[in-house]
Every structure is written in C-alpha cells, then in structure tokens.
Structure 1
Amino acid sequence: MEAPTTSPAPAPPSASARRDLTALPKAHLHLHFTGSMRHSTLVELAKERGVHLPDALVEDWPPRLRATDERGWFRFQRLYDIARSVLQTPEDMRRLLRETAEDEAAEGSGWLEIQVDPSGYASRFGGLTPTVELVLDAARAAEEATGVGIGVVVAANRTRHPLDAKTLARLAVRYAGRGVVGFGLSNDERRGRAYDFEGAFRIARRGGLLSVPHGGELLGPASVRECLDNLEADRIGHGVRAVEDPRLLERVVERGVTLEVCPASNVSLGVAPTAARVPVRTLFEAGARIALGADDPLLFGSRLARQYELARTEHGFTDAELAELARQSIRGSSAPEGTRRRLLADVDAWLGTPAAGSAG
C-alpha cells in the first residue's frame, strides 16, 4: 500500500515555549470500547478471570502490529478479541468506562464519544438491548464521577451481514436522545464495502443519529467516497487516504465532514510508515475539519494528548493551530450546545495563557 503523501512540516516551535497539551480542552471522537481499557486493568482482569494473555499483551506490550495484509489484520483482531474476553461482568464494563473517563479527564478531554459493537458482548450480558443499556448506564455513572460528558456510538461490524447492521441501527435509534449519539461501521474495510450498509445508515440518520463510519484507512479514496455518497457521513473514522484524490478532498472540505485522524494508530497498523507521513498537515491546510483520536490505546500504547503532541513535533503545529484542532474536534462532536460553548471558551483561555518558558 502506498502511504498517504504529506506536505513538509514547518519547523516545530521552541520546546521552551509550549503550552501543556493535557490542559488543552478537546473532544475525543474516535475511541473504541475495549480498546480504551488500561493495560494494567487488562492484566489484572486476565489474572482474575484465568484468561491467558499472549506475550504481545504482557511483556512485549504494546504489540508490534501491521494490518495492511490479511494476516496482519487477523493478528490485530485476535489480540482485540482476547482483550474483550476479560470483560465478563457488569462491573467490569462499568470499571472500564469509569477508568476511561478518568483518563480522558487527565488528557484534557471534556467530551468523549465512545464506539461499541454490542454484538461482541451480547451473549455475555443477556442480549443486544441489555448490553446497550449496561453501556449507557456505565457511561452515565462515569460522567457523574469525572465530569467528562459521554456519548455512545453504536457500531456495526462490516464483516457481518448488512441485516445485522440494520438490527443494530434500529436498536441505536431506540436510544437516540438517551445517550446514543451516532451509528458507526468498523472492522476491516476490505471485507465489507460501505454501500452494502446503506440501509442501516438510512435507518440511523432518520432516527436522528450521526453517521460516523470508518473509511479511507486500509483502502484508498474509493472507500471515503462511498462513505460520503452512500452513507452520507457526518464524520469519517480515519479518512486519511482522501489526500490521494484532490477532488475528493475538496468534497470532504465543502461538505464540512470531520475526519477522525488517528496518527499513532495509522503508524502501528502500517497505514503510514511514520507519524510524519500521516497527512495531518496536508488535510489541515486543505481546510478539512480534523478531530484527532487515539483509536485503541490498549493496543497502540498512547492516548489522546499524544496525538496532539505528534501534530506538534512531527508536523510543526503551533499552539494556535493545535487550539484550532481542538475547536474542530468540539464542533464535530454531538456535545450539547452548552458543553460546546464552555469547551470552546476554555480553548480560548488555554491559548490566552503564557506558554511555558515564554516571557511573562
């Protein structure tokens, strides 16, 4: 796979005059449920539940991954499934969301949209509906404990039948306005085309949910185009391969679609060879709306603030530009209007404080 191209980055600002990125208010719009788990929690729960973890999830963590071929994706998915298997009780699910919200607060995130495919847990928790209700209840408790607002994105698995996706879309719509904010489509792009899931997304959109499919990660511009044309995406998970088609990128910009760009994930899965080759600067300068995301910290080893740090160190983003990235994440979210206004004001306040090491 040819890596996305990117324009040369300006020289990064002096390290002695940088503001703390964990204090920058932001929204986190691309985080998967199991993948948000703390590594220490995975190890602890595996020991309690008698689940054997491979070395890649213990001594060799974070694992060395590559998903640009079928074998690499299979290994990634196998590790993910092993991690999911330690979540066996309702308290495990509540703990995961509580700890995730605590980590988000520490990273400066004031609003989180976490993506979950309830099919992966339904057999354990009494079915699809009880699983969604458990996640929503856990999200409310985590909000109260941490002050981080949480919306839930119900995601279909593109490797399963489109009728399964319609079932999930109808379920998600039942909880629209009660914690579910969007409908997504995840897993290996090469094994399920977006247009096959048009019916499910039509149900979700009619029910008032955001359309937030993955696209343009392991496949090129055609995948992004299908998300726009067939799924009427409000946001696209990843979407970085749009840079390979300038006209398509213009459409993304014109339609105001937010791209959930995950630099560390792109490198770990082989979408780009280095963080400097993830086209954050190219997308930004083209006028695309960007929401940086961590994707699966459990497997990639870094959380949200690190993605902003990569934009700073690898792409030369100034603090003013990083603040704009944070604003774009907030504007691209489903956060209530009052939450948006507060977070945007806090971004301005962050930018108005002197940078560390600058003259007073």
Structure 2
Amino acid sequence: MTQKLLKAEIHCHIEGAAPPSLSRRQAEKYGIDVSDVIQGDSYVWRDFADFIRCYDRIASLFRKEEDYAVLTETYLLDLAEIGTIYSEIIVSPDHGDRIGLGADAYLAGITDGILSARSKTGIEARIIVTGERHFGPERVIAAADYAARSHNPLVTGFNMAGEERMGRVADYARAFDIARDAGLGLTIHAGEVCGASSVRDALDLVRPSRIGHGVRSIEDPELLRRLSVEGIVLEVCPGSNIALKVFAGFAQHPLPHLMAAGIRVCINSDDPPFFNTSLQREYDLAATELGMTRSQIDAMTRTALEAAFVDEETRTSLLTRFDAHLAGNDDAHVS
C-alpha cells in the first residue's frame, strides 16, 4: 500500500525490535529455553504486565556488545529496505548494567550497528537513552546522568518508558532537568496505559517537545488545544495501541482525530514483532484502517523529521531528501 513512500520513525525500543528468528538464534547461542515466550514466529504474552515480562526475557538474550551490533544493524537494514531514511532507537544503558555487559559496551554495540547500517544503506539513526519507570526514580536519574556524560554524538535524546502506572511524574522530573541541561531532546511515555492526566503532568513537569504515545489525550478537549498550541509532537503507535487494548480496534483509534485537531503526530512501530507489526505495516494501517490520505501520511513523516533529535544540518539534509522524493512522486493517492 505505502511501499513507495519514504518513511521515518522516532519511537522504537531496540530490544523490542528483535525479530523472533533472531531471538531464537540468540537463545540457542546461550542455551536458553524460550518456549514460554516464543511460539512459532510470534512472541507470547497476555496483558501489559505480561508483555513487560516477555520483553525482559527477550532482552536477556542479548548479552554481548556484538549481539547488540547485530540486533541494531538487522533492524535498521530492514527499515532501509522499505524506504526509511531516519530512525531513533530507544535504549536502556541501565539494562546493559543489569545483564553484566556494562552500559558502555551496550552503547558501543548499538553504535556499531548504526554505523554499519548507515555505511551500507545511508539510513540515519540516533539514540534516545531511556530510564525505566518501574525501577524507580534513582535509576531513571542515573540513566539521565549517563546520557548527559556519554559524549557519544549519536546520543541525542532522553526518554522515560516502562510501567506508566508506577510513581508520579514529579518523582522523575530531576532526570529530565539533567538531560535538558545537557542539551538532549526530551520525550516521555504518557497517555498510553494512563489517561489524559498523565500527559498534562508530563507537559507541566517535564516540558518535553514530544510525547511517546499520548493517544489518551483524546479524552480531554482542553488538553488537545494545549498540545496544538504548544506544537507538541505525539509519537503515535497504532498497532501497539490495539495489541495492548488501549483501544478496542482501529475504528476507535484517535490518530485521524488528533491530526484533525491540529496536533503534530507521526507514525511509529514501538516494539514491532511483539505486536505483530512493522513500520511498513503501520504506514499501511494508516492508509487502510485509519483512512488517511497520501498527503496526510507524508505530513506525518515530515513531522517526524522536523521533530527528530538531530543537529540542524542533518535535519536539513533529511528534509531535502524527503522533499526531492515527493517532487518525483506526486501521485494523489496511496497505492
């Protein structure tokens, strides 16, 4: 449906991008039984809490620097094959420490994967360091400290993910102050499992330029107006939202209504194989299930590039490439 469109993605968790086939190979490499979380070509989980458990089990299969290089390169090569020119990968150095690899080696492997994919395809990618909310404020603050002193030019943003129902946003605000002072772009998961109030708290206390998900904002008309006026970008992941039962089906998904309300939105895959999706499928769903036009889909890609955590020279280069493609592909409808 949308194979010929250039694409961009600014919300994908690196461990969540591992295809089951690669995870099986990793499990064999380390002699781990994963029959409880992988069946056939699919990951198996029941609800959000069980998804987190499944995610952590799969993440534990990547243990060495070279494992992360392969994982990152594999995902980016797949993206490049469908016409993706830019990707932001959400990573957790805290996870690198927990598995005994160490944050530096963890980040080095991801960096190697990015550079290798770029040399082969030209795809640009950046790293968003994330703190995992369910491990508590101290660990999220430590992740921000690490991001602030990483001196890795590919680390350009800071995020908080994990169990949205744990703790108050205020408990984690210091982490975002540290990241902001270091010049990192700010985004935060909110308005997914929890309602519109979580988005308001994020705007008030974190002051991000982007919100991960944010789709529950649709419940509050005043919040919608605020998002529009402030130009906040929502990193929307429709397939993820349906898989996690945030909405009953695509007919209830608010992406078209968010765009109609003047809110800046873009399409992302989140943890694609866990939700039986891909970035290509997300673009297809926008056209087929959500009824969005070619121009609307292209507008969301432009939004992703405009909101990307990159230097202005890189942003200009990406937008120039995107505009040149549009100029040569001006069909009126997605096909």
Q: What band does the TM-score fall into relative to the shorter chain?
A: over 0.9
* 2:258 counterpart of 1:283: yes
Distance 1:101 1:189, change over 3 A: same
CA 1:168–1:243: 2 relative to 1, 3 Å: same
Measured in 1, the distance between the counterparts of 2:70 and 2:168 equals: 34
- State which of 12, 28, 31 in structure 2 corresponds to 1:31: 12
Query: In structure 2, what is the equivalent of residue 218 of structure 1?
Result: 193
Aligned to 2:35: 54
Q: Which moved more, 1:301-310 or 1:258-267?
A: 301-310
**What aligned pairs does 1:306-321 form with structure 2 within 5 A after superposition?**
306-321=281-296
Structure 2 residue identity aligned to 1:88? R
What secondary structure, in the 3-state scheme, does the structure 2 residue paired with 1:23 have? Answer: coil
Q: Please name the residue that 1:151 is paired with.
A: 126
Q: Is the 8 A contact 2:126 2:154 kept in 1?
A: yes
Aligned to 1:170: 145
**Equivalent pair of 2:173/2:206 in contact (CA under 8 Å):** yes
Identity of paired residues, percent? 34
Structure 1 residues not aligned, in runs of 5+: 1-19, 66-71
Please list, as runs of the form range in 1=range in 2, the aligned pairs for 1:1-360 lying within 5 A after superposition: 21-59=2-40, 61-63=42-44, 65=46, 72-175=47-150, 178-352=153-327, 353=329, 355=331
What secondary structure is seen at the aligned counterpart in 2 of 1:121?
helix
Segment drifting more, 124-133 vs 103-112 = 124-133
**Alpha-carbon distance between aligned partners in 2 of 1:175 and 1:23, rounded to the nearest angstrom:** 37
RMSD (Å), alpha carbons: 2.1
- Matched residue pairs, number? 333
Gaps of 5+ in 2: none
Cα-to-partner distance string for 1:230-286 (whole Å, 9 max, x where unaligned)? 011111100000111011111111111110000000000010111222111010001
Return the alpha-carbon distance in structure 1 between the equivalents of residues 65 and 152 of structure 2: 23
Whether the 8 Å CA contact 2:64–2:106 is kept in 1: the answer is no
Shift of 1:144: 2.3
Per-residue CA deviations over 1:188-231 (Å, capped at 9, x if unaligned) read: 11013222110010010011011111000000011001110101
Whole-angstrom distance in 2 between the partners of 1:357 and 1:261: 22
Q: Could you tell me whether the CA contact under 8 Å between 1:111 and 1:148 is conserved in 2?
A: yes
Give the CA deviation at 1:21. 2.1
Paired amino acid for 2:122? G
TM-score (normalised: structure 1) = 0.86
